[in-house]
Each structure stands twice: as C-alpha cells, then as structure tokens.
C-alpha cells in the first residue's frame, strides 16, 4: 500500500456526524480494503489521539478510537463513536501487510480539529456568606456562577489565603468527589473539612480548625475555573472575611425579632435573625401561611448578610393570625440547625436535639389607628 499516491485527511460531515475523510487512495488499494471484512479493516486502519500514538507503539494492545470505517466512492470515512474533540490532534495509522523485510509498515497521518476561540463570558456572581465575619467553625461556602460550570475544578481553582500575610491556608476545604453542585451546575457548595471542625475528632486534634480565630482570610476563585463550554472565567473573584469565635448553639426562631406589617398594607414582614444563616437553605426554609394553613402568594427575599428575611404578600395583609413556618433543617454558618448543634457537647442538656418537625411562629399584623379628625 505504499504505491504512488498521496493520502489526505480532512474533516467531513458524513452521515450526520463530524467524520474523518481519507482520500488519495489508489484504485487498487480501495479495492483491496473494500474486500476486507470489517474486523480486518479495523486492524489495517486505526485512529488514535496523536498524543497517544507514541504510547500506542509501546503498548501493543492499545485499542484505537471506537468507531467504524466505511468506503464511499474514492474515499474512506471514519465515523467515530465518540465525537472528535476541538483542539485535539488525531492520527490515522495505516498498517500494510508485511513487505520484503517481513515487518509490517505503519504509516501515520495527523490532523487537528481546530478549537473555536471566543472571549470568556462566565463570571462569579456571588460568594456566600455575604457577611464580613465567619465563625472559626464555619462549615460551608457557596459560589454562584453566571453560567453552568464544568466539574472537576473546585479543588484546583478555589483557595483560601490569610489576609494578613498572604500565606495560603492548606487543606481548608474537604476534597469532595463528586463535587456538590445544584441542578443547573451554577452553584458550587464547598465544605470546610468537617473532621477538622468537630471537636475531639482526630483531624481536629491533629491539625486544628481549618480557620484561625482572629486571622482574616480571603477566599479566592481563580479565573482558570472552567465553565460548561470549557472556557475560563472573565475574571477571578475573591471575598475577605474576619474570623470570629465559634458558634455552637441551635438555631431558635424564638430568638428572632419579628417586625410585623400593618393591616391593609403590602409592607413586608421582616424577620431579623440573631445571627447570619445559611443562604442556600434560607431560599426555601421559610414561608408564611394564613390562619387556615394555606401559604400566601407573595415574594420572600434574603436581607443583607443573611441576617434578615422579608416577605411581601401579593394581597394586602388582613386582620387575624398568620403563621411563619420554619423548616427545621435551616442552618447557621457553622452547620447548627433548628434541630441540632453541629458537634453537640453531651454534657450540655440545653443542646439536646430538638423536635424535627417544622416550627410554626404565630404573628398578627398591626392595626393602624386612623388619625383622629381634629
């Protein structure tokens, strides 16, 4: 098969997929190859990612790219089972039968699928908590992106540094595989190593808390974090926090302040927490029912620093009882929930786990006194 001919590789749309077309065969070659059964044809022709061709030569049994060859008029097409990847070079290896020397000749042709280049469009929208302070036993961070993201970058592209001397803080985050994403792959949940947070566990005793009380830190998201299209971010992002004493008390809605709206208005009900709460859980852990237990139409929103929650009803408030419903799974920044303290001290009876059912807080709206006519 080494006669007078010049083979050429080209990308081609063939049978509704992006295929490789090999043309330049002699008529005799095409006839010979066309007569071969499929398995034999696959032994004579193979596609490999070019970077593996060298390894393939060393590894006798390296299986080539899955797919099939088809002969169509004067060309041979390779229809891959898995689509060719942009920016990747592929090589066609052609093995001819043993020549005069008795050794099979292998010919290689290489082609690259060009990478499309477009400017990065994805950015970090928010990093939560949005408060300026983290308890030293902070459990979670959330990073929100403007577009769906690739998995596999969290361990590489998210870091924490001391803000005072710029030294990196090592092993702060739990190396979570699989990574924790929301359904749309826009929000990444990062856990600080819980073994280092829980008192008495070996990691806590050996390595201490991931954070250091009194030492401010900066959370850094590298621009290298890839979005779902494989693109880097427009720019990196960072957020600075002061680190304050640990937080180890159950979340108790009785400790919150309730700013009740006025009957007849559509002013918001404002709930002021005694501490910042978990942003993601706040999104759906609170709601308002009327006295009959029917949820009101309206809009809930989270206030600055996750210290507030407001509810604006679609219809004006009426006289009578309303109920704020609290999902007991609601947590604060250190993973303490309405039910439990994150690492409970058995000796503290007040930290005993609470009833896991939802909490209902009654409130009534303020009846405004009409101004008396003079």
Partner 1 sequence: MTTVDISKYGLEVGTPAIKSVGPLAFGPEGILFVADNLGATIFAIDVDDSDSVSEPRPLDVDNIDTRLAAYLGCSREDVFIRDMAVHPSSQNVYLSVMRGSGSSAMPVLIKIGADGTLSEVTLEDVPFSQTAIENAPAQDDERLDTRLVQGNREGEVRERDGVRYRVARDRLRTATVTDMAYVDGLLLVAGASNEEFSSTLRRIPFPFDGNTLTNSLEIFHVSHGKYETASPIRTFVPYGGNASVLASYTCTPVVHFSLKDLKSETQIKGRTVAELGAGNTPIDMVSYMRDGQEYLLVSNARHPLMKIACKDIDQQESLTQPQEPVGVPRQTLPHKGVGHMANLNGSYVLMMEQDDEGNASLRSYNISTL
CB 111 within 8 A of CB 90: yes
Q: Which is nearer to partner 1, 125 or 201 (CB)?
A: 201
User: What is the rounded distance in angstroms from the CA atom of residue 294 to the CA atom of residue 313?
Assistant: 13
For the CB of residue 7, give the shortest distance to partner 1 in the complex, in Å.
Answer: 20
DSSP notation for 56-115: HHHSTT----SEEEEEETTEEEEEESSPPPTT-EEEEEEEEEE-TTSSEEEEEEEEE-PP
**Which residues pair with residue 22 across a beta bridge?**
9, 76
For the CB of residue 135, give the shortest distance to partner 1 in the complex, in Å.
Answer: 14
The enclosing H or E element of 184 equals none
For the CB of residue 214, give the shortest distance to partner 1 in the complex, in Å.
Answer: 22
For the CB of residue 195, give the shortest distance to partner 1 in the complex, in Å.
Answer: 4
CB 229 within 8 A of CB 197: no
User: What is the rounded distance in angstroms from the CA atom of residue 340 to the CA atom of residue 359?
Assistant: 14
User: What is the rounded distance in angstroms from the CA atom of residue 193 to the CA atom of residue 171?
Assistant: 8
User: What is the rounded distance in angstroms from the CA atom of residue 186 to the CA atom of residue 151?
Assistant: 11
Buried b / exposed e across 74-87, counting CB within 10 Å, b at 16+?
ebbbbebeeebeee
For the CB of residue 85, give the shortest distance to partner 1 in the complex, in Å.
Answer: 6
For the CB of residue 372, give the shortest distance to partner 1 in the complex, in Å.
Answer: 37
For residue 274, report the phi and psi dihedrals to the nearest 5 degrees: -80, -10
Q: Which is nearer to partner 1, 74 or 362 (CB)?
A: 362
**Could you tell me the CA-to-CA distances from 277 to 180, 264, 266, 300 in Å, in that order?**
19, 30, 25, 15
For the CB of residue 340, give the shortest distance to partner 1 in the complex, in Å.
Answer: 6
Closest CA to 338 of 220, 255, 239: 255
Q: Which is nearer to partner 1, 28 or 201 (CB)?
A: 201
Closest CA to 26 of 44, 9, 46, 7: 7
For the CB of residue 140, give the shortest distance to partner 1 in the complex, in Å.
Answer: 7
Residue 209: other Cβ atoms inside 10 A:
20
For the CB of residue 30, give the shortest distance to partner 1 in the complex, in Å.
Answer: 25
């Amino acid at each position: 098969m080494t006669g007078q001919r010049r083979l050429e590789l080209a990308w081609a749309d063939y049978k509704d997929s992006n295929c490789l077309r090999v043309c330049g065969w002699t008529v005799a070659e095409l006839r010979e190859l066309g007569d071969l059964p499929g398995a034999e044809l696959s032994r004579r022709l193979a596609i490999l990612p070019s970077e593996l061709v060298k390894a393939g030569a060393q590894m006798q049994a390296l299986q080539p790219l899955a797919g099939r060859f088809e002969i169509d008029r004067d060309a041979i097409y390779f229809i891959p089972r898995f689509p060719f990847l942009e920016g990747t070079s592929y090589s066609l290896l052609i093995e001819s039968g043993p020549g005069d020397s008795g050794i099979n000749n292998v010919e290689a042709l290489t082609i690259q699928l060009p990478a499309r280049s477009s400017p990065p469009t994805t950015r970090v929208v928010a990093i939560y908590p949005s408060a300026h302070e983290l308890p030293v036993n902070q459990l979670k961070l959330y990073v929100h992106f403007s577009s769906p993201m690739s998995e596999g970058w969290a361990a590489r592209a998210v870091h924490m540094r001391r803000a005072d001397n710029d030294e990196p803080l090592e092993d702060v985050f739990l190396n979570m595989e699989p990574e924790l994403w929301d359904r749309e792959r826009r929000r990444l949940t990062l856990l600080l190593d819980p073994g280092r947070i829980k008192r008495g566990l070996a990691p806590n005793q050996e390595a201490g808390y991931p954070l250091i009380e009194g030492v401010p830190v900066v959370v850094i998201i590298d621009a290298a974090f890839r979005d779902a299209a494989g693109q880097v971010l427009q720019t990196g992002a960072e957020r600075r926090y002061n680190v304050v004493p640990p937080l180890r008390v159950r979340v108790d809605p009785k400790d919150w302040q309730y700013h009740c709206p006025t009957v007849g208005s559509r002013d918001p009900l404002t709930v002021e927490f005694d501490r910042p709460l978990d942003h993601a859980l706040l999104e759906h852990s609170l709601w308002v029912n009327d006295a009959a237990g029917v949820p009101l139409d309206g809009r809930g929103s989270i206030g600055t620093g996750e210290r507030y929650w407001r509810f604006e009803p679609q219809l004006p408030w009426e006289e009578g009882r309303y109920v704020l419903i609290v999902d007991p799974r609601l947590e604060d920044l250190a993973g303490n929930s309405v039910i439990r303290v994150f690492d409970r001290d058995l000796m503290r009876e007040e930290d005993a786990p609470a009833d896991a059912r939802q909490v209902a807080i009654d409130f009534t709206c303020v009846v405004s006194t009409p101004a008396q006519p003079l």
